[in-house]
């Protein structure tokens, strides 16, 4: 008999399974709690469950779990995990500590099909979506590391690791449900940010579903030709279409949008690029995160000089648009934004 992954079962499905096997439904609740709240990796850990029931579960199910295969710590305290999945594939996730918060940056897919030219992950073709439990487990692993190294729990989560989260919609939403549920990690959705290249149809779907987490868009240019030259998504969904979905998002959720923006030499370092960003930001309540760029091996992109970033800041602030500068973290271990590429281990492509 092929054993099924018990973590793909909802609580109701587990209750139904026990009823079908002639046992009490509440066993389903107990098992669910062991799996999600207590993070059991084996049935033997479930000490308030009888030995007989544990053996019975073992006949039908496995518990698929990620394992941290290789952990690296940066000189700035950033931790990068290479996470091995049940089928041997690998993704990366990162713990980023600052004075005020500890953030987990998690992956949603193995590789990525979006082809952004500045991103190391794009070089690994998409192999598969992560399951909800594989996303959840990355957060649990980083939460443990946060407690171990920094003495407190994780405070924030960003879906900004490998993959495009909106192309793995159902599994990402299910993982967020578990992360925010009292039966899971009980984190506030306000502390979660989903970062996307911007797929208008999916942004509207999230708005209709009244999600409570934050939305960030990898924008990088507010000029269509420039954005299309770096991000193929812009050819099928241009900036106007994206804006329409963002206005819809704001109307439904009343939440401000974050635009992530890297300033590159000879790409978006002109006054025209700055003016375009300011004009774009005025169309919807938004703030801008200017992110420091980390060159990738063999890549052609270079961070623009600080004077250009300063020009962006001045112009955005002059127009009353909130702007933050996000310094790069974990550069020495290739854990910084856009650098995740499974360099910790060679994977078969
Ligand atoms: S930036 Fe994000 S969406 Fe674009 S290729 Fe990299 S991982 Fe994929």
- Would the CB of 340 count as within 6 Å of ligand 1? no
DSSP secondary structure string, 176-234? HHHHHSTTTT---GGGEEEEES--HHHHHHHHHTT--SEEEEE-S-SSHHHHHHH-THH
Residue 160 CA, ligand 1 centroid: distance in Å:
8
Residue 120 CA, ligand 1 centroid: distance in Å:
8
Under DSSP, is residue 289 helix (H, G, I), strand (E, B) or coil? strand
Residue pLDDT, tens place only, 122-136? 888 889 999 999 999
How much of the chain is helix, strand and coil, in % rounded to 5? Answer: 40, 20, 40
Under DSSP, is residue 54 helix (H, G, I), strand (E, B) or coil? helix
Answer yes or no: pTM beyond 0.75.
yes
Give the strands of the sheet with 286-291, arranged side by side.
Answer: 67-73, 79-84, 90-97, 102-105, 156-159, 192-196, 214-218, 257-261, 286-291, 322-326
- pLDDT for residue 336: 53
- Would the CB of 119 count as within 6 Å of ligand 1? yes
Q: Are strands 79-84 and 90-97 parallel, antiparallel or unpaired?
A: antiparallel
Residue 121 CA, ligand 1 centroid: distance in Å:
6
- Would the CB of 172 count as within 6 Å of ligand 1? no
Fill in the DSSP letter of residue 319.
Answer: T
Residue 31 CA, ligand 1 centroid: distance in Å:
36
Residue pLDDT, tens place only, 61-91? 999 888 888 788 888 888 888 999 989 999 9
Write the residue with the smallest CA distance to atom 4 of ligand 1: 116
Fill in the DSSP letter of residue 131.
Answer: P
Nearest Cα to Cα of residue 57 among 94, 91, 104, 9: 9
Residue 124 CA, ligand 1 centroid: distance in Å:
10
Query: Is 337 one of the catalytic residues?
Result: yes
Ligand 1 pocket test, candidate residues 114, 125, 339, most atoms within 8 A of CB = 114
Residue pLDDT, tens place only, 231-252? 999 999 999 999 999 999 999 9
- pLDDT for residue 346: 27
Residue pLDDT, tens place only, 21-64? 999 999 999 999 999 988 899 999 999 999 999 999 999 999 98
Q: Please compute, for residue 338, the number of CA atoms within 13 A of its CA located in the half-sphere on the CB side.
A: 23
Given 33, 45, 92, 260, the catalytic residue: 92
Q: Is the pLDDT of residue 344 over 70?
A: no
Average pLDDT, the chain: 91
- pLDDT for residue 326: 85
Q: Which residues of 267-289 are buried (b: 16+ CB within 10 A; e: fewer)?
A: bbbeeebbebbbebbeebebebb
Q: Which residues of 21-36 are buried (b: 16+ CB within 10 A; e: fewer)?
A: eeeeeebbebbbebbb
Write the residue with the smallest CA distance to atom 6 of ligand 1: 119
Ligand 1, atom nearest to 119 Cα: 6
- The region of weakest confidence among 13-22, 112-121, 217-226 is 112-121
Query: Is 112 one of the catalytic residues?
Result: no
- pLDDT for residue 263: 95
| Model confidence band, residue 168 (pLDDT cutoffs 50, 70, 90) | very high
């Amino acid at each position: 008999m092929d054993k099924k992954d018990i973590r793909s079962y909802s609580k109701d499905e587990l209750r139904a399974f026990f009823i079908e096997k002639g046992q009490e439904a509440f066993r389903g609740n107990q098992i669910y709690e062991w799996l999600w709240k207590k993070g059991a990796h084996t049935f033997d850990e479930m000490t308030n469950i009888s030995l007989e029931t544990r053996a019975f579960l073992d006949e039908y199910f496995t518990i698929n779990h990620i394992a941290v295969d290789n952990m690296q710590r940066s000189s700035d305290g950033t931790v990068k995990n290479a996470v091995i999945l049940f089928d041997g594939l690998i993704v990366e996730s990162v713990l980023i500590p600052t004075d005020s918060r500890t953030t987990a940056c998690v992956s949603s897919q193995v590789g990525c099909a979006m082809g952004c030219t500045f991103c190391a992950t794009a070089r690994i073709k998409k192999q598969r979506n992560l399951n909800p439990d594989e996303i959840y487990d990355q957060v649990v692993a980083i939460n443990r590391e946060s407690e171990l190294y920094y003495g407190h729990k994780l405070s924030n989560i960003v879906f900004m690791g490998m993959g495009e989260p909106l192309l793995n919609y159902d599994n990402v939403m299910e993982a967020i449900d578990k992360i925010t549920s009292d039966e899971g990690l009980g984190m506030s959705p306000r502390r979660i940010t989903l970062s996307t290249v911007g797929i208008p149809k999916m942004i509207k779907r999230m708005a209709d579903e009244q999600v409570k987490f934050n939305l960030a868009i990898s924008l990088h240019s507010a000029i269509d030709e420039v954005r299309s030259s770096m991000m193929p998504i812009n050819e099928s969904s241009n900036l106007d279409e994206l804006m329409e979905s963002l206005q819809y998002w704001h109307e439904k959720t009343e939440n401000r949008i974050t635009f992530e923006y890297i300033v590159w030499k000879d790409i978006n370092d002109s006054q025209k690029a700055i003016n375009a960003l300011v004009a774009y930001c005025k169309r919807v309540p938004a703030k801008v995160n200017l992110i420091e760029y980390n060159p990738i091996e063999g890549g052609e992109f270079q961070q623009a000089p600080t004077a250009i970033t300063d020009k962006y800041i001045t112009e955005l602030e002059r127009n009353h648009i909130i702007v933050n500068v996000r310094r790069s973290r974990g550069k020495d271990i290739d854990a910084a934004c856009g650098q995740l590429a499974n360099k910790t281990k060679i994977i078969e492509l």
